[in-house]
Structure 1
């Protein structure tokens, strides 16, 4: 906010525009109250001087005298709040500068006991319907987009703050704890046993047999060539060809038989072997040890570290790119979810009631647990303020209204002085 020049009697060098307006109003009220005092003084002097000639001026003099007394008394009372009257250190004056810290503590206690009460907060929140208001705001497309934008900014900030090495260490530790340390054999065997028992592996077996049969059918020359390559050199070439063709035909015939017959002996033997393997992985120490050996060969220290690095790099890149792109699937989906949640808060009264209850309980817990820490901000802030500056700040806020005390004191004092003099005159003559 714009800064303004020196503000005279307030003693504050630079304040906001609003404070400048308050300071100007305070100065005007002080001058008006002082003008009333001076007016009463002039009236008193004139009435006192002319009273011998005009006896009725005794009533005017009494009114002016009472007005001066009231004005001076209230000037003293108002001034004593903020500073020593005329610089004289009279006891129980300059109350605010001298008792600044006590005032701060008292103000903090007042706020804590009367505003930061669990009952007060809960009662206020119970009638506010915060969830419905939040829902109405979130249901607006612009609001949902704003939430998504701020969430994306927070996500990017988190990605920037996180140290890659620390995250990699966490991922590596999790992989070691949950993947490497537990033995693989028993859990794999248990899963395999369930798969084999339910026959889910048959589709894979069918695929392998179909592919094998197709390959055999398409590679007659390759299979026949294997016979020729391994045949002795003294065997005639036509014999190699006949043998190769015969072997190819038998292999293809066998493959077709396995392919066409779901109950073929090869299939049954394969099922039996797989089921035995599942049992051995669970109960055979030798097979369990072999599975552990394979695990260590596949996932040694370098592999695990590389896996952690690649995993984090992939996740970080994906999240960062999605957060930066307003049209990314993540941003669009998040925006849609926010809008849907806002609409549900409006339309689903049960959900809104639960949300309001949660908000109320959370606020009551925070207030009940941390209200002293919250209100200590008041006492600590006031404690750090300079005594004179504190007095000036408070006077700037309430001083204009306090000047009405001086004005009223002048008026009431003059009326009281007139009434007292009139009554005394009436009684004693």
Structure 2
């Protein structure tokens, strides 16, 4: 169970006059904040172990008193007295050693005691340096990532049930959040600037001419010419009366009407024959002239200053300032509306395709060893770069955090975490001291009689 990384500080309200409140029991509470359930359990265990260690010390003291008082009457109690005496010495020595880590023993400022409160900043700096040197190593991080095989595990999650849905859901939240943050006027200004820079600023003539030259050289325009010729032939075929009337309207008034009819019929027949000939002959002279005209136009757009200037005039007329602003506004409005509608609808084509793409990518990570290796290498390189560049900053978080902690509270936090285990040192010291006292007394008794 973790404890909070930052102790909270608070101002205590003024206390009423009267006897000073008793200090909290060591390990029972952490100053400045309420204990969590886990910390309360640790505090109870710490108190229990302290009572056990203290009980052993008291037991050694009681045994020592009785053994010392009765050893003349019962000489074998000398060995018991020696063991109890050694146990008391060991218990007291280890009590002093453990207590000196967290506070001044019995409040006496003995040198080299209360180590953690006095040297917490140095401990934080050493801890940060230790983490930076031994854990925030580029080689260590890359080796760990390589052993984990992040790409395959990520692929299994993405390809499995719920992975793609989770990614789509989080992606939709990101898109909605981005649209809330983005200012429409600013985005439209960016789009307008891009249109002006990349679409309007460059001259249109040469690139259009080069594109047209390539299209005409490959014959892609022939279908359009065929369509125009077919429509013209169909129109002539369906408008015999219109052609005859046009001839009659333009003939002199003194020409008899039946002559107008004959001339109109003749003109109609010739026009129809002409259009049918152009329609049926892919190498007709008219088609060749159209090809020549279009090729000349493509060359002029590239090399003729007058034609280039005319193209620029057309561009300015078609895409003036109002038109560009309207284009930017419509573009952004359309994109925004389409994306919001798509991400809000789990059955939209965009969402369905996105989920399918995520699942497909996950399956490829699982099944394609080469792709998984590349992704793992990218992740390792990225992690190595982050560690190499920011390792000192990351380790500095530990140093800075410990430096902000209150000294007494820091000591109590650490004691709460490791104090229970440290009490075993006192217990072991009592036992080892007893055995040592017994062995020393026995050896001396044997040697010196």
1:374 aligns with 2:391: no
CA displacement at 1:132 relative to structure 2: 2.0
SS at match of 1:263: coil
SS for the counterpart of 2:207 is helix
Contact conserved, 1:258 with 1:264, CA < 8 A, in 2? yes
TM-score of the pair, normalised by structure 2: 0.89
Q: CA deviation at 1:275?
A: 1.0
Question: Which residue number in structure 2 is paired with residue 406 of structure 1?
Answer: 426
- Deviation at residue 81 of structure 1 after TM alignment: 0.6
Specify which of 119, 135, 138 is matched with residue 99 of structure 1. Answer: 119
Counterpart in 2 of 1:72?
Answer: 92
Provide the alpha-carbon RMSD of the alignment: 2.2
- The CA distance in 2 between the partners of 1:161 and 1:232, in whole Å, is 76
CA displacement at 1:321 relative to structure 2? 1.5
Q: What is the DSSP-based 3-state SS (H/G/I as helix, E as strand, rest coil) of the residue aligned with 2:148?
A: coil
- Residue pairs, 1:13-92, within 5 angstroms: 13-92=33-112
Aligned length: 426
1:225 deviates by: 4.0
Instruction: Name stretches of at least 5 consecutive residues in structure 2 with no aligned partner.
Output: 4-22
Identify the residue that residue 283 of structure 2 maps to in structure 1.
263
Give the gaps of 5 or more residues in structure 1: none
Tell me how far apart the structure 1 counterparts of residues 252 and 161 of structure 2 sit (CA, whole Å): 83
Structure-to-structure mapping, 1:219-258, within 5 angstroms: 219-227=239-247, 241-258=261-278
Q: Deviations over 1:223-275 (max 9, x none)?
A: 44444555677766655555544443433333222222222222221111111
Match of 2:13 in 1: none
**Offset of 1:24 from its aligned partner?**
1.2
Report the CA distance between 1:130 and its aligned residue. Answer: 2.2
Q: Is 2:9 aligned against 1:9?
A: no
Give the superposition deviation at 1:48: 2.4
Q: Tell me, yes or no, if structure 1 residue 130 matches structure 2 residue 168.
A: no
Query: Would you say the 8 A contact 1:81–1:96 is kept in 2?
Result: yes
- Partner of residue 228 from structure 2, selected from 198, 205, 208: 208
Q: Is it true that 1:415 corresponds to 2:432 in the alignment?
A: no
Could you report, residue by residue, the CA deviation over 1:267-322 in whole angstroms, capped at 9, with x for unpaired residues? 22111111111111111110010000000000111111111111111111122222
Give yes or no for contact 1:117–1:368 (8 Å, CA) kept in 2: yes
Partner SS for 1:127: helix
| Aligned residue in 1 for 2:414 | 394
Offset at residue 121 of structure 1 (A) = 2.0
Q: Choose which of 161, 185, 199 in structure 2 pairs with 1:165.
A: 185
CA deviation map 1:320-375 (0-9, x unaligned)? 22222111222222221222222222222222222222222222222122111111
- Higher helix content, 1 or 2: 1
CA distance in 2, matches of 1:201, 1:364: 56
Instruction: Kindly indicate whether the alpha-carbon contact (under 8 Å) linking 2:26 and 2:412 is maintained by their aligned counterparts in 1.
Output: no
